Amino acid sequence: MIGKTLKELSAALANKQISSVELTQLHLDRIARLNPEINAFVTVDTEKSLAQADAADARIAAGMADPLTGIPIAQKDIFCAKGWRTTCGSRMLGNFVSPYDATVISKFDAAGAVNLGKTNMDEFAMGSSNETSYFGAVKNPWDIQRVPGGSSGGSAAAVAALMAPAATGTDTGGSIRQPAALCNLTGLKPTYGVVSRWGMIAFASSLDQAGPMARTAEDCALMLNAMAGFDDKDSTSLDRTTEDYSRELAANVGEKPLAGLKIGLPKEFFGEGCDAGVMTCVQDAIAEYKKLGAETVEVSLPNMQHGVAAYYVIAPAEASSNLSRFDGVRYGYRAPEYGNLDDMYQKSRAQGFGDEVKRRILIGTYVLSHGYYDAYYLQAQRIRRLIAQDFVDAFKQCDVIMGPTSPCTAFGLGEKSADPVQMYLSDIYTIAVNLAGLPGMSIPCGFSSGLPVGLQLIGDYFAETRLNIAHRYQQTTGWHLKQAQE
């Protein structure tokens, strides 16, 4: 049962081939064995998980099961879960036990899924390698000398090491797609506003979006069915009719199932700056799509080149404000010794936050400061609108946009951590999608020097179901089935 898809596990549970308690215990055992090396989980609570599994078994026995009932799912430690320690990868929240559930957690609970544990992540989701976590770096199961990507690196490594059948992630500038690419997973960042942000600890509110990380596109659709939906507790949640994200999975069969599909290839994605090995895999994947009947058209995203710069103004600006609540007054880390109030703030935040978080708070505070706001923050917002408009224009010529997810495969631990700008460029292909608020996906499309490569699919607003073309690809290719060897 280890390494199976959600769809397969759902059937196995329904057929009573295995109970949820057994399935959960199998994964907990695997976590106990592999996690000390991989470090994908920050918190595991066997008792809580098994209690949920027990309840799921009763629900299955009563014939009340939903597709995810009884399936253990790892939760990124950015989601508040009642009674669970919720750290966000930070010393600041090292002792924080949430008194309430994030909407994403409530929705998985309502679906009968089992919370398998909280996964490691870059501190406050700030990073592309999972090396900024207070709880230590996560190792890539494909090569434990390498990073799994970030910030949802713990979730990616947990699924890639078969410690969890699937996991949640969040994506502010590529934090689902890039680790999915580096760990040979299928990861989906939905349109901004599709999944509620209530209870998801904010990094950059206007960019953050939660989504699934799993082995297949089909599993991502099942996960998203559970996660998506309007939430009156999140003012930026979109009030739309409920979607069945798996509804188009069975469509478009036959010899040329994708006949008529127009794939836009932005020339900016295929220029310099991408590893040759990655590019070869991406080109092969596009060729495969053509075989399935799709045609390609060159499009342009002329303002994308400014995306990383704009992102590193907007995201830190919002973060600098979002992270102000971590002041040591009401909860979280407080320095053991301090003089007056200012000293308490300074010491608590100096000791509670890591370097990358401090760097972004400083940048964010600077760009919002009097006299700099117009030049940085407003200018970045203008670029953001231009980038969104570039996509609107591009989607007049095509149905979906494709390119690499990450310019490189998994890099070595410590390789980029001394050079923040190099690290930031890991997200060069993913950031524009967040700035525009579009849905984006990464699917496995081959290997370069033995390391996984991801193909990025970008859809128009709310075109998540259109990304069923990932499923078509996975029906004729086997890259997503490849698993890391222990």
Partner 1 sequence: MSMNNWEVVIGIETHAQLSTQSKIFSGASTAFGAEPNTQACAVDLALPGVLPVLNRGAVDCAIKFGLAIGAEVAAKSVFARKNYFYPDLPKGYQISQFELPVVVGGKLTIQVGQGENLREKTVNLTRAHLEEDAGKSLHEDFHGKSGIDLNRAGTPLLEIVTEPDMRSSAEAVAYARALHALVRWIGICDGNMQEGSFRCDANVSVRRPGQPLGTRREIKNLNSFRFMQQAIDYEVQWQIAEIEDGRAIQQATVLFDPDTGETRMMRSKEDAHDYRYFPDPDLLPLIISPDWIERTRKTMPELPEAKKQRFVADYGLSAYDAAALTGSLEIADFYEATVSAAGKPSAKPCANWVMVDLAARLNKDDKEFGQSPVSAKQLGGLVARIADNTISNNIAKKVFEALWNGEGSSADEIIEKQGLKQITDTGAIEALIDEVLAANAAMVAEFKAGKEKAFNALVGQAMKATKGKANPQQVNELLKKKLA
CB of 431 to partner 1, least distance (A): 17
Closest CA relative to residue 188, chosen from 219, 157, 164, 165: 219
Closest CA relative to residue 224, chosen from 464, 35, 474, 483: 464
Sheet bearing 295-299, strands edge to edge: 41-43, 114-119, 72-76, 167-171, 209-214, 186-189, 440-448, 451-458, 400-404, 262-266, 295-299
CA pair distance 260, 15, nearest whole angstrom = 39
CA pair distance 436, 439, nearest whole angstrom = 9
Q: Compute CA 294 distance to the chain's CA centroid, rounded to the nearest angstrom.
A: 27
Nearer to partner 1, 139 or 349 (CB): 349
Which is it for strands 72-76 and 186-189: parallel, antiparallel or unpaired?
unpaired
CB of 18 to partner 1, least distance (A): 34
Question: Would you tell me how many other CB atoms lie within 10 Å of the CB of residue 3?
Answer: 12
CB of 337 to partner 1, least distance (A): 15
CB of 357 to partner 1, least distance (A): 14
Tokens 């066997």 belong to residue: 46
Nearer to partner 1, 69 or 322 (CB): 322
Which residues contact partner 1 (rule: CB under 8 A)? 79-80, 86, 88, 93, 96, 98-100, 102, 197-202, 204-206, 232-236, 317-318, 320-321, 323-327, 329-331, 341, 345, 365, 368-370, 373, 377
Encoded amino acid at 236, one letter: T
Query: Active-site positions?
Result: 76, 151, 175
Nearer to partner 1, 92 or 222 (CB): 92
SS3 156: helix
Nearer to partner 1, 35 or 170 (CB): 170
Nearer to partner 1, 377 or 395 (CB): 377
Closest CA relative to residue 380, chosen from 304, 310, 307, 308: 310
CB of 98 to partner 1, least distance (A): 7
Does the N-terminal peptide bond of residue 151 adopt cis geometry, omega within 30 degrees of 0? yes
